[in-house]
Structure 1
Amino acid sequence: MTEKTYTCHVVFQTHWDREWYLPFEVYRHRLTQVIDRIVDGLERKELEQFVLDGQMAALEDYLEVCEPDMEERILSLIKEKKIIIGPWYVLADEFLVSGESLIRNLEIGMKLANKYGKSQMVGYLPDTFGHVSQMPQLLKGFGIDNAIAWRGIDSDSSELIWKAPDGSQVLTVFLPEGYYQPVLNEDSFQTSMANYVEKVKGFAQTTALLLTNGGDHLMPKHGDMLGKINEISSEEIQFVSSTYEDYLHSLKAELPQDLPVYYGELRSNKHAYVLPNVLSTRSYLKQQNQLMEDELTGYTEPLLSLTTSGKYPARYLEESWKLLMKNHPHDSICGCSLDEVHREMETRSMKLGQRLESLQMEALATAGVQDAAESGSATRKPFEDNTVFTVFNPHVHSYFGTIRGTIWLKEDREFSLVDEQGQYYQPTILSKRNDRYFASPLDAFPEFTEGTFYEVLFSVEGLPATSLTTFLVAEGECRNLAIKKDSVADTDFYRINVENDGSLTLEEKRTGRTYKGLQSFYSSLDVGDEYTYSPPKHDITTFGSLKGYPIVEQSETGDISLLHYTLELNLPASCREDRLGPVEEKVKTEIQVTVMLSSHSPKIESKVKVINRAKDQRLRVRYPLGTSIEKTYSDTAFDVVERPAKKIEEFDAPKQKEVPVVVEPSLSFIRAEQNGIGIHFFHRGLQEYQVVPDVKEDILEVTMLRSVGWLSRDDLRTRGGGAGPGMETPEGQCLGTYTFDLAFEPASGCTNGNIAKSAHFYRVPPRIYPGDARGKLLSRLVEIDNGEVQWSAFYCSEGELYLRLWNPTEQEQSFQFSSGKEISAITKVRLDKSELTMLNDQNDMLASKCIATYRLQFS
């Protein structure tokens, strides 16, 4: 039998974490040293080509600080295709950021790469902790027909076909030994190269092998690297300096027809850790990120699209996207870095929030809804109160439900509200306070104005899609809340009682069904690290108990009820030094809960403030489902994924392995029901959940906090080895006060599309802004008539208006566009904005699980 002759493509690369076990600026200084060495090696012909990790942020970071001569040299090498760049802006975690963020990541990354040279057309995903189901569709939308990945893949073949739920597919290269292979840096590289080939060729379906020579933050050693390759080539194995694109070209030339096919998301830990509990590490970072994503895609871009004609802050927005995405690399958003790194992330989020608020105010001023200057022409001037205000509905669907927000008036008074059509509304006053309003116009001195701030809530029927609707404060009476000591809250939908253990008993009036034990909080020990949950041998579980007596605030008509109560957990202060069980010292963690029920919505909303004083613990909230379930659904990037309920949990892992994954990801909602019995859960930033079996029913558990003090440890029960440097991270214990927004409702026969829409409105509710939009033609710029179809972006690009839609259902969905303006043309485009087809009319069909982008033109 003739032996195969293999060709091993050696790709010189470095995997660059912007921040991880060192803070960003320290890594950047190291980056300058590494890139200087790369440039020198290429110019000396020691290297033929070098891949700069597939992300443009590293190049930008370098160009910001390098000397002019080095900038000229590196840009010259990029133009000569000696340094390979693109396609991503950063190598993001896929489960902890939105699908829209992943699209903009590719869009901006490829734009920058093509500005400096040419982007490599490779779906490079070397170190993500698992992969979302729609990644093949996203890559294909930018003309990329391949992926190179490591974690999450359970395959005995290094070549496979990966299919998204819509049928899009990419040739995928699985790296069975991972990307971290600095083989030629070793003194005994000949032996190491031979050993590497023996390991990977058993996975290969062709004679083309891949060696990703390099590793995290590593530079190639000085010396003739190309000569080293030639030194060990033989008749059986040829080593060639290559790129990922050249390797893929060789691979495609001899691929067999029957490659294994993998569908949907990839989260297997058979070959490599997927580190699943990063879904809940430092959950405050996840909250902040989702808040900023919603501010950017939910309010800022749609508001600018609705109000701006001609002048559009395109660069400002692109730089804002880049600032957001600098928090998205897996070591950043996953919360598995040094404390310094995560403090800097919070600063980025703070700065981004300031930017987006300013851009929103600019949009309103540009449209004449309000003025930034005393001398402006808008009706509303900077120091005027909210006697006239607007409500912005950014969604492409009409809104039916409650509007909640704050207005301020110069006088403390009773009032009603009236809309542009003369319809009156009686608002409920949730709270009020006397305070000072501050304004700083462009052409006047800053001043404080005394006034009363009202947190109002009122119900609307059919608030137009993509609109600014004006409301006036008029003579009339508000609805005030009556306060009483009571453990029962009651509206048209439900009757809820707070039990002594702090759980809720819910009676559903429509069906007569009762759910018990809802929204109870408990803590157990966690002696893991920032990557992985690990219980000690002698664990202890502590449930909350009611502290004091609940308070109910209810409107006169009974349509709004607020239920306030406080729980206390008497917890071990930490684990013992041997990490086998708890210390004897106890501390008290306090949980303050406000539950809101409304007759205008089936959703039960809660604001939960946790004052955490315990270390080495995991805090969860529980929802008994009233039945046993076989599966759940939760949303990820452009998909709602059906997941088997994994009820068997293991705690002891073999060496270099993880225990089987039982926690699941969720961006904004979880559907846990069987035959119409169960719970729908909505949240911001609580992205890890698990189904836990009980005697008579299953329980949905959602992780709120993980308190851990180490970046990585190598003595965990649940993972058989370290995942990074063993550094202490005391701020990862999450001591202090944290506030969470969450909601739930009993299962009601809704479809996944209906729940996705409800979750989007929960995350991005219509918002109150100061100003007067009457006569500005700012109503219903675009609307679609199918609530199963979701939207992710409504924005301008290069003077054109784009709307991105997606179908979460298993069925094809038809829908129609409409507008308050005349639509002259609708063109369906790819994600890269290349033209696909022009619609003959204002109707279209969206296939199951399909993402579609539309360019809209108006007369």
Structure 2
Amino acid sequence: MAVLHLISHTHWDREWYLPFQEFRLKLVQLVDGTLGLLARDRGFRHFMLDGQTIVLDDYLALRPDREREIAAHVRSGRLLIGPWFVLPDEFLVSPEAIVRNLLEGGRIAARFGRNMPVGYIPDPFGHIGQMPQILRGFGIETACVQRGLDDQPCEFWWQSPDGSKVLMAYLREGYGNAAGLQADDPRRFLRVVRELGAALVPHSAAGHVALMYGTDHMQPAPETSTALAFTARRLKGDRLVHSTLPAYVGGIRRALGARMAGLQVIEGELRSSKRWHLLPGVMSARMWVKQSNHACEELLEAWAEPFSAWAEWAGAKGEAGGPRAAPDDSLARPAAVVSEAWRLLMQCHAHDSICGCSIDQVHDEMRPRFDQVRQIGEVITRQSLGRLAALTESRAPREVGEARAAIVVFNPVSWARSDRVEVDLEVGSDVGDFDIVDDRGVRVEMDRRGLGSRELIHTTLDREGFRSSIGMVHEGRVAGMNLQALEVARQGARAVLRVALSSKGSPNRSAWEQGVNRVNALLEDEAVTTYEVLARSVDETRVQFAARDLPSLGYRTLFVKPRNRGRPSLAKPLPAWAKWLVPLGALLGRLGLSAWQSGTEREWRRGLRTIDNEFLRVEAGASDGSLAVFHKPTGMRLRGLNLFEDEGDRGDEYNFCPPGDDRLVRGGRVRAVHGRRSNTAQELRLRLRLRLPRELAPNRMRRSRAKVDVPVEVRVRLTAGVDRVDVEVQVDNRAKDHRLRVLFPTPLRTESASYDGHFEVVPRGVRLPQWDETWVEQPRPEKPQRRWVDISDGLAGLMIANRGLPEVEVRPTANGSEIALTLMRCVGWLSRDDFPNRRGHAGPGLETPGAQMPGRHLFAYSILPHAGDWQQAYRRAHEFTRPARAVPATLHRGHMPSSASLVSVHGGDFLVTAVKQAERGTALVVRGVNLGKTPARVHIRPWRHFGRCQLARLDETPLSNLSMHRDGNAEIEVRPAQIVTLLFSDPTSRIRR
């Protein structure tokens, strides 16, 4: 006898074909109705709120009086919530974002009394290979999914690359297979239940099957209990129960018993499109969404979280030496603020949001969320780095001699590295020329340009207006700036105040305290009737320099040393004719190009087509705009790199589909090539024009004969001491219905490629699987990636790193293999059903003109030739996505050493993925994964001694104590692909020096 589990539920897309607020009002109606049904009908036993807890926050914001009622139903098991915060697209968010998602979902569920212990992931478009290990890290031993599988049975083991397994309860007929039941017609209800059971029972070894009574935004049927009772009495041979997912999987486990060990094992990611739409085009729909998300995740994971945790520990009371020079404007307990930034960001991670497959308004409303995450992340990062710089010993050592200032350079990756860093210095006019030197007095390569000062305020006030304005200055701070100098003079009945303000550091307290006394005297002087205020920014010099040997996840202090005292300062005020450069620089910043990158035209030499450094030579000599790269360490020569390819797209936001009669456009017309060389970098600038069809023809079978010019600017940079070719591309898109990619052909012959994945490196074949017309969606060669993709023949290889460009194809060619990186895919419809590579609609057929991606867009990626395989290059790819930062500092005594690592790691290819404050308590969390192919003995050493180190689950539940070495190291054996979370607590007073 089979057991048919009727599971009442809804799948809630928070924003999709309607914006959030319109869907929220429908959510209020649904939850109101569900609570009423639970209250009046004890026969309606259970309802599942889609496995995500954000719906509770959204509902209770409008119905706060119903929280206790909801909590009572959750505790009793009638209303099921969790384990997720939102249902994300797993491939388009970072692995740490998935962990944060489950942490937040668990936190909310705990507030209501119970978390559903099933990894319910019904609708996201495919599943990452490490999901079983992630779920087990939260105490979840069963997964329940729909997409990515095909003809597998209803029960099997799903295994991660490290060997972690969860029981898979495969929703073979979908998460809405019983949505068509009509509870107001009991006889039809009975007939359909029999049909559903007959479709599933033959594929179940346990004889327990799930009838998922719900679908997108569906409310529970009030007649459910009546129809269920009617059917249960008449259903012969099988048993129908009103059930839940936990009860369903519990029934499977009890029925199978010892037979569970013999279930089929499926390992790794799930990306089949045979039975269910995979919808791979979402990887490139609205690419700006992916880029914004990548930037926010990197900001939180690489900067705000680890460095705010460090700054909090370093400045805490009881730390040896005390926070002597710590600025007093740092935010206390920043971890809570970072958590709020994560909550904002995860609202963009729901699959219809991050995938770019919603109406235009939905994605327009995502922009301010991304902006708010950046605002929080940048402020927390700036304060944290400033606090650490203020706590650091920055007095120049004897080898340096006289110094006027310090620069603290921070490295966010978990290994030592070198990088080119930019910082604006406020160097006094008495300094003249200067060098930047390390702690041994060795001069570093440097480029600089004087930015001068700018007038901020020039106004004349009467007595009351001046008194009011002075009241806006608090302890030397005004309008977000810090007072550095204040001169007060009287000229008859007029008082003149000259003020120097800085956006950096802290106020000059002595200057303010001395000046404010004179100001108060002038306010009391009846003979003074007008007050002239002239405020300027301090003189600044923008410096770019080569920062070498930066410690792992740490910092190094460099020094500004006068070269010849008394010479005129390089930092002079901008002349009147150059004032227009200031707003231009702000505009370039919004476009993602720094003022240094734009430079001045006279720095560029027309006709300079070759640049090189100690590792690479790049030539821009081809008429099609492609590049030739020579890699000096391996002798590898690559031609035709960075070639643009454009093709038509008759698909929608979910799927790419080329027109049947299409002509590829390869390469562009080169309009100009310029180059420039400096002490720290050499660069090329290519300006091209792509002549593209304007849009699809009316029949959508080909592109139009009408053409448009699409301007493209390519910036190529080689940095001194860095084995990498960095590329920035700006496209002014004026075409519609097309996909723009950039190609990297190689002579390397291979049948597989390696992709940066989620807590793993994923090997994938370069050829499509066998398929036929029975598939609901044709397989596509484009694959997801995170930071990089790599092809190698074992002796040499090519890696392409990226910032927020998740779609890539690796394909065999006549001469080797080629990487095709998608920059943008431009379509005008949410969903269509008139193209051949997908059966039926994937959503409502609504127009989405914003998905055509009009206007200017900036893309960043890097070319990394290398010896061997991906293990020889992946660290350079991570360095590209996480550049170092620098903070100017005064010369002062500090209890932190002048160079230190927050966490140093040694052993194999262990990659640190998180350093953060614990969710509960005060422990420091360090998490990482062994990317290598063999076990690794890993040594992890924090910047200070901790008395205790515990191995923990991903949810930070301690598992066991690790022994600590006398030097404070923790040592652990890590399996290939194993994710390890450590909790460091009980700090001693010893800081490493």
Global fold match (TM > 0.5): yes
Map 1:552-571 onto structure 2 (within 5 A): 552-555=675-678, 560-571=681-692
Aligned to 1:290: 294
Query: Residues of 1 paired with 2:781 and 2:189: CA distance?
Result: 40
Once the two structures are superposed, the pairs formed by residues 259-338 of structure 1 within 5 Å of their partners are 259-309=263-313, 310=316, 311-338=332-359
Aligned equivalent of 2:736: 615
Q: Highest Rg: 1 or 2?
A: 2
For residues 74-153 of structure 1, the aligned pairs below 5 Å read 74-153=70-149
Quickly say closer, same or farther: Cα 1:787–1:601, change in 2 above 3 A.
farther
- Residue 832 of structure 1 aligns to a residue in which SS? coil
Contact in 2 for aligned 1:506/1:515 (Cα 8 Å) = yes
Q: What corresponds to 2:375 in structure 1?
A: 354
The offset of 1:253, in angstroms, is 0.9
CA distance in 2, matches of 1:787, 1:567: 44
Q: Does 2:421 align with 1:404?
A: yes
The aligned counterpart of 1:228 is: 227
Of residues 814, 838, 845, the one that matches 1:726 is 845
In structure 2, C-alpha distance between the alignment counterparts of 1:657 and 1:751, rounded to whole Å: 35
Cα distance, 1:573–1:458 mapped onto 2, change above 3 Å: same
Residue in 2 that maps onto 1:520: 643
Quote the Cα distance in structure 2 between the aligned partners of 1:736 and 1:578: 26
Alignment of 1:493-504 (within 5 A): 493-498=615-620, 499-504=622-627
Query: Once the 2 structures are TM-superposed, how far is the Cα of residue 368 of structure 1 from its aligned partner?
Result: 7.1
Instruction: Tell me, yes or no, if structure 1 residue 42 matches structure 2 residue 38.
Output: yes
Aligned to 1:382: none
Equivalent in the alignment of 1:66:
63
- Per-residue deviation, residues 249-306 of structure 1 (Å, max 9, x unmatched): 1110122342111001111112101111211111111111111111101000111111
Which residue is 1:26 aligned to? Answer: 22
The alpha carbon displacement at 1:572 in A equals 0.6
Does residue 766 of the first structure (1) align with residue 767 of the second (2)? no
Deviation at 1:634, TM superposition (A): 0.6
Residue 825 (structure 2) pairs with residue 706 (structure 1): yes
Structure 2 gap ranges (5+): 317-331, 396-403, 458-471, 482-500, 502-535, 565-569, 571-595, 989-993
Matching residue of 2:497? none
Superposed CA offset, 1:95-152 (max 9, x none): 0111111111111111210111110110111111111010000011111111000100
| Residues in 2 aligned to 1:435 and 1:152: alpha-carbon distance in whole angstroms | 58
Q: Aligned partners of 1:474, 1:195: CA distance in 2, in Å? A: 83
Q: Secondary structure at the match of 1:296?
A: helix
Distance 1:438 1:269 in 2: 60
Tell me the distance in 2 between the aligned counterparts of 1:764 and 1:796: 21
Which deviates more, 458-467 or 432-441? 432-441
1:392, CA displacement in angstroms?
1.6
Q: 1:432 to 1:247 in 2, by over 3 A?
A: farther
Matched AA of 1:272: W
* Residue identity opposite 1:763 in structure 2: T
Residue of structure 1 equivalent to 2:975 = 847
Q: 2:704 aligns with which of 579, 583, 597?
A: 583
Question: Residues 723-770 of structure 1, C-alpha deviation per residue, up to 9 Å, x if partnerless?
Answer: 000001000000111111100111322543x53332222211221234
Change (3 A) 1:845 1:202: same
Distance 2:785 2:983 in 1: 30
Q: Give the counterpart letter for 1:269 in structure 2.
A: S
| Alignment partners' CA distance in 2, 1:57 and 1:473 | 50
**Matching residue of 1:472:** 559
Residue equivalent to 1:836 = 959
Q: More deviation in 534-543 or 480-489? A: 480-489
Does the CA-based 8 Å contact 1:655-1:719 persist in structure 2?
no
Asked if the contact 2:118/2:144 (under 8 Å) is kept, the reply is: yes
Tell me which amino acid in the other structure corresponds to 1:20: W
Q: Distance in 1 between matches of 2:307 and 2:9?
A: 42
Partners of 1:211 and 1:441 in 2: CA distance: 67
Residue equivalent to 1:809: 932
- Which has the larger displacement, 513-522 or 491-500? 491-500
TM-score normalized by structure 2?
Answer: 0.80
Query: Partner of 1:463 in structure 2?
Result: 550
Of the candidates 460, 478, 500, which is equivalent to residue 445 of structure 1?
478
1:393 lines up with 2:411 in the alignment: yes
2:455 & 2:267 partners in 1: Cα distance? 55
- Map of 1:398-437 to 2, 5 A cutoff? 398-399=416-417, 401-409=418-426, 414-429=433-448, 433=451, 436=454
* 1:602-751 pair list within 5 angstroms: 602-646=723-767, 654=773, 657-751=776-870
Distance 2:416 2:279 in 1: 41
Task: Output the CA distance in 1 between the equivalents of 2:539 and 2:128.
Answer: 48
Letter in 2 for 1:568: R
Q: Work out the percentage of aligned pairs sharing the same amino acid.
A: 31
* 8 Å contact kept, 1:811–1:847: yes
DSSP 3-state at the match of 1:853: strand
Q: How does 1:125-274 map to 2 (within 5 A)?
A: 125-180=121-176, 181-185=178-182, 187=185, 188-223=188-223, 225-233=224-232, 234-255=235-256, 256-257=259-260, 258-274=262-278
Determine the C-alpha separation between the residues in 1 that align with 2:650 and 2:885. 42
- What stretches of structure 1 of length at least 5 have no aligned partner? 372-377, 380-385
Contact residue 952 and residue 958 of structure 2 kept, 8 A: yes
The residue type paired with residue 338 of structure 1 is I
Amino acid at match of 2:359: L
Tell me by how many angstroms 1:699 deviates. Answer: 1.2
Matched position secondary structure for 1:601: coil
Indicate how the Cα distance of structure 1 residues 342 and 455 shifts in structure 2: closer, same or farther if over 3 A, else same: farther
Question: How far did residue 776 of structure 1 move?
Answer: 4.0
How many Å separate the matches in 2 of 1:816 and 1:103?
A: 23
Q: Which amino acid aligns with 2:778?
A: V
- SS of equivalent to 2:306: helix
CA apart distance, 1:496: 1.6
Which residue, out of 650, 656, 668, partners 1:533?
656
Summarize deviations over 1:483-530 as a string: whole Å, max 9, x none. Answer: 422222222222221111000012223343321100111110001000
Residues 41 and 222 in structure 1, CA contact (< 8 A), matched pair in contact too: yes
Contact 1:649 1:662 in 2 (8 A): no
Instruction: Output the TM-score relative to the length of structure 1.
Output: 0.93
Q: Aligned in 2, Cα 1:438/1:57: closer, same or farther, shift over 3 Å? A: farther
Q: CA deviation at 1:463?
A: 1.4
1:473 partner letter: V
CA distance in 2, matches of 1:513, 1:465: 30
Q: Distance in 1 between matches of 2:641 and 2:893?
A: 45
8 Å CA contact 1:54–1:87 kept in 2: the answer is yes
CA RMSD of aligned residues (A): 2.6
- In structure 2, how many angstroms separate the alpha carbons of the residues matched to 1:247 and 1:626? 53
Secondary structure of 1:724's partner? coil
Q: What are the superposed Cα offsets for residues 3-44 of structure 1, whole Å, 9 maximum, x if unpaired?
A: xx2110111110111111110111111000000011011111
Figure out how many residues of one structure are paired with residues of the other and give that number. 835
| 1:800 paired to 2:923 | yes
- Between stretches 234-243 and 565-574, larger displacement belongs to 234-243
Counterpart Cα distance in 1 of 2:433 and 2:732 = 36
CA displacement at 1:654 relative to structure 2: 4.0
Q: 1:678 to 1:567 in 2, by over 3 A?
A: farther
Matched residue SS, 1:320? helix
8 Å CA contact 1:783, 1:818 repeated in 2: yes
